[in-house]
Structure 1
Amino acid sequence: MEAVDNKPGKLGGMFRALHYRNYRLFFVGQGISLIGTWMQQIALSWLVYRLTDSVFLLGAVTFSSQIPSFILGPFAGVIADRFERRKVLLVTQGLSMLQASTLAVLVLTETIQIWHVLTLSAVLGTINAFDMATRQAFVVQMVDQREDLSNAIALNSSMFNMARLVGPSIAGVLIAAVGEGMCILINAVSYIAVISSLLLMRLKPFERVVTDRKVWQSLQEGLAYTYNFAPIRALILIVALISLFGMPFSVMLPVFARDILHGDANTLGFLMGATGVGALAGAMFLAQRKSVVGLGRVILFTMPLFGVALLAFSFSTVLFVSLLLMLFVGFGMIVTMASCNTLLQTLVEDDKRGRVMSLYATAFMGMAPIGSMLSSSLAEIIGVSYTLAGCGLLCALSAIPFALQRTRLRRMVQPIYERLGIVPEIARGLQVASNLTAPSQEK
């Protein structure tokens, strides 16, 4: 893998991962594609709510698109560890392009029905189960120096959230002007960018790991490794709790935009855009950090911040106040998720990376649909405001078990950081690690 003039100051410390040619290609291609992805997500949410006026069906669409990650995610990790990751990504991106194209045709020809949306969402969820686990494990192949890995993950998050800012803003305008179909068509075309970037990369020859273990044995090994090492287990649990209680907020945003804030598709775009601004600020905050040391303490701050911001947003009826609170929601969400990702990538052994990151993806994408169905069902009974308030409170309280484990987890992480050179001296390491609140590792 090539690094282009990896001297400090070339692009600045905040953007140091962009020194690597392969990572630059990935960054640009994925960035373009993600703008299309966010456009489609906004368009689909607005379409479903326009056609059905049902909060429950909004949750059902999210459930169908994400539950495959819960079921298939661990198996996807085995695939990511056994096969060339670039080829796996080329297949998943090509299939995603086909899915978006099919959806666009149905919407543009006005033949779309809710069962089409549910079916195609489930198809995309199945594809994403393999794509996300592989993509998380693939990042390490694009960055030669391990010390730049945390910066690469932070820049990934900034890219994701820049797209979250741009995509919904464009989608809001296009939906009002020409309808939802054009947004979905643009997403289908945007996959050309990421597929091209993958084809242009110069990677080291793939060396297949010869193993006589069956898929089920490999899966069991990955699960045992994750469960038996408390720091990794704690990080996966944090991601699962945030996804279960916190991520359903996005399902309910169309209801807040139309029925509580009395707006239209543009209002929904503004809310998502504000979340993107906050998340982008969070990603840039992480990108400027020089080390993973101290990320545990950061997580203990941002988890409650995310929950409290959601709680306050649930009772806001003023657009300006809602947009302001969405900034904090976006910041708290992305810093928590990205910090967990970064710590995991730092701690995990290379030969188990795909399987552990698939469990991260399962916790991230797999618990969200369960939360979406539970929250949307509850919202039909008690209303979206009280439902979201409860979600926010549970997110804030989820930080407590993590805080109680701080000392024990810090001691377990310490030897790994010493071995990797992240904490070069034992005495200095113990002093610095006193600021570490938990395990290691977004996305």
Structure 2
Amino acid sequence: MNFANAFRVFKSRDYRLFFTGQLISRIGMWMQRTAVIWVIYTMTNSVLMVGVATFAEQFPSFLLSPAGGITADRYNRYKILMATQIISALQAVLLTVSYVYGYHSVTILLLLSLMLGIANAYDIPARQAMVNDLVKSNEDLPAAIAMNSSLNNLTRLAGPALAGIVIANYGAAICFGTNAISFIAVIICLNMIHFPAYKAPLKRKKPWTDFKEGFDYMKKQPEISKTLLLCSLVSFFVITYNTLQPYFAKSVFHGDAATYGYMTAATGLGAFTSTLFIASQKKVSNLKTILFFNLLLLGAGLIAMSFVKIFPVYIIFCFICGFGTMSIMPICNTIIQTVSVVEMRGRVIGFFAMATLGTLPLGSLIIGWISKYISAQHCQLAQGILCLIIVMFFYKFLKGEKKPDSCEGDLEIQHKKDIILNP
């Protein structure tokens, strides 16, 4: 493992600014997200309502991410990002003001979470595709994508831990206000970055045509379609175990918001460690093998964690499951961005967001509903077993013949041939 490969990408001034702005903003976002979930759970004492909150924030990605991907391919990504950051900041301000003035309503929290989810559906494809614009060397691209994913995992470590302490001592409104202020940093950094000159498409097609072209392209590339299918199954059936965490914090370990924050932070520490490990890999062809073993680790960790009743031991398993869980996003994202052609990259990332962030809220809603009829421990046990079944189903894909690292060039040539033959 060579960490020099992971950090070499920070030689780029523009990438450093991009990473720094997002780092500050995402810490605020995780503080807000943790506070919203904890407030809703304490108000309703319902895991189902936690699932509804996750659904409200993330389901728009399922519906709108393909449109977000088309937008990222057709329009200036810098302007798209500025618009989504401003809308997200406005959402945080509204959330802070409503809570300060005593409007502690689940309905308001859900509606504002929905507003944030709509912004994220357009933000994620543009932000992920922009990494390719900021990194000059294709050799650094896998590390840049993984480090971009590690950013979310690092903030998942810091944000919930800070939120737990802040909520316990000062209340949720401070978390909401901190998130609103954090957007100042990302907006400043975006304005300091030297983005490549925007080149508008010579001819813009109808949105439906763009969507169909992207969907057909995805289907014709087995590396992309199988990766997206794997992502969607794991996101729907397995990663949703986090929906159960407030129940474990309050009902199993008899803790408070700080307890929940420590559990989420331990998961984030495992996730951050995982993405650093992934970013240190020099060859993309190694990633599927790593994904295979990390999925096995996640499944076994969830099975073991469902039986744990001692909090320090549970925290250790949170770290282990976080390590396994958060390797999925950066590895799959790296695979699909590495093999997709430039013209299709925004749309492919849109489908990726749909397969991951889109299916996650559906799964959260269902696991919250199931937990009403069987215990949270049994739900977590079932998710661990399902994870092992999924990884066995994809065994040939994950452990089969490795693709060459530089497959993008061949796809670029084939794509240009398709354009010539089918203008």
What TM-score comes out, normalization by structure 2 length?
Answer: 0.93
Equivalent residue in structure 1 for 2:209, among 182, 203, 217: 217
* 2:243–2:367 CA contact under 8 A, matched in 1: no
The equivalent residue for 2:305 is 313
Q: Which residue of 1 aligns with 2:63?
A: 71
Instruction: Work out whether 1:256 is the aligned partner of 2:248.
Output: yes
Q: Distance in 2 between matches of 1:224 and 1:407?
A: 26
1:35 aligns with 2:27: yes
Matched, 1:187 2:204: no
Q: Given the alignment, which residue of 268, 271, 275 partners 2:267?
A: 275
Question: Is residue 2:119 matched to residue 1:127?
Answer: yes
Q: Do residues 352 (structure 1) and 362 (structure 2) align?
A: no
**In the alignment, what sits opposite 2:419?**
none
**How is 1:292-311 mapped onto 2 (pairs within 5 angstroms)?**
292-311=284-303
Deviation digits for residues 243-284 of structure 1, max 9, x if unmatched? Answer: 101221222111110001111111101101101111111111
Aligned to 1:171, which of 145, 159, 163? 163
Q: Which amino acid letter does the alignment assign opposite residue 404 of structure 1?
A: K
The answer to whether 1:322 aligns with 2:314 is yes
What aligned pairs does 1:49-68 form with structure 2 within 5 A after superposition?
49-68=41-60
Contact kept? 1:230, 1:409, Cα under 8 Å? no
Which structure 2 residues correspond to residues 68-147 of structure 1 after superposition, within 5 A?
A: 68-147=60-139
Letter in 2 for 1:262: H
1:157 to 149, 165, 169: 149
Q: In the aligned structure 1, how far is the partner of 2:404 from the partner of 2:195?
A: 32
Q: Is the 8 A contact 1:108 1:182 kept in 2?
A: no
Secondary structure of 2:407 counterpart: helix
Map Cα deviations across residues 272-305 of structure 1 (whole Å, 9 max, x no partner): 1101111111111112211212111111111121
Matched, 1:204 2:188: no
Match of 1:429 in 2: none
* Residues 1:22 and 2:14 are matched in the alignment: yes
One-letter amino acid matched to 1:120: L
Paired letter, 2:17: L
Q: Deviations over 1:325-376 (max 9, x none)?
A: 0111111112222111111111000000000000001111100011011100
Name whichever of 206-215 and 144-153 sits farther off. 206-215
Contact conserved, 2:285 with 2:404, CA < 8 A, in 1?
no
- Provide the aligned length of Structure 1 versus Structure 2: 410
2:407 aligned to which of 396, 399, 417: 417
Q: Structure 1 residue 409: deviation in Å?
A: 6.4
Secondary structure at the counterpart of residue 405 of structure 1: helix
Letter in 1 for 2:228: I
Amino acid at match of 1:48: I
1:381: Cα distance to partner? 0.8
Measured after TM superposition, the shift of residue 324 of structure 1 is 0.5
Give 1:237's aligned residue. 229
Whole-Å separation in 2 of the counterparts to 1:407 and 1:274: 30
Q: Return the offset for 1:196.
A: 1.0
Q: CA deviation at 1:414?
A: 3.7
With 307-316 and 232-241 compared, the bigger mean Cα shift is at 307-316
Counterpart CA distance in 2 for 1:95 and 1:142 is 24
Q: Answer whether contact 1:231 1:409 (CA < 8 A) is retained.
A: no
The one-letter code of the counterpart of 1:247 is I
Mapping for residues 391-430 of structure 1, pairs under 5 Å:
391-406=383-398, 410=402, 413-414=403-404, 417=407, 419=409
- Give a deviation string over 1:36-82, Cα, whole Å, max 9, x none: 01111111111001111111111111111111111111111110000
Shift of 1:145: 0.5
Contact kept, 8 Å, 1:154 with 1:286, in 2: the verdict is yes
Query: What TM-score comes out, normalization by structure 1 length?
Result: 0.89
Q: Distance in 2 between matches of 1:212 and 1:192?
A: 33
Q: Secondary structure at the match of 2:161?
A: helix
Superposed CA deviations along residues 300-322 of structure 1, whole A, max 9, x for unmatched, are: 11112112212222221111111
Contact (CA 8 Å) 1:161, 1:280: kept in 2 or not? yes
Q: Give the residue type in structure 2 aligned to 1:211.
A: K
Q: Does the residue aligned with 1:380 lie in a helix, a strand or coil?
A: coil
Gaps of 5+ in 2: 412-423
Do the aligned residues in 1 keep the contact of 2:285 with 2:405 (CA within 8 Å)? no
Structure-2 change in CA distance of 1:408 and 1:298 (3 Å):
closer
Distance 1:414 1:118, change over 3 A: same
Q: Secondary structure at the match of 1:290?
A: coil
**Identity between Structure 1 and Structure 2 (%):** 37
Residues 301, 406 of structure 1: alpha-carbon distance in 2 compared, 3 angstrom cutoff: closer
Secondary structure of 2:248 counterpart = helix
**1:305–1:396 Cα contact (<8 Å) kept:** no
One-letter amino acid of the counterpart of residue 143, structure 2:
N
CA distance, structure 1, for counterparts of residue 155 and residue 134 of structure 2: 21
**Structure 2 residue matching 1:147: 3-state secondary structure:** helix
Are 1:245 and 1:392, in contact at CA under 8 Å, matched by a contact in 2?
no
Work out which of the residue numbers 276, 280, 284 in structure 2 matches 1:284: 276
Please tell me the residue identity of whatever aligns with 2:257: A
**1:381 counterpart (363, 370, 373):** 373
Q: Which amino acid aligns with 1:417?
A: C
Q: Rate the CA distance shift 1:276–1:420 in 2: closer, same or farther, 3 A.
A: farther
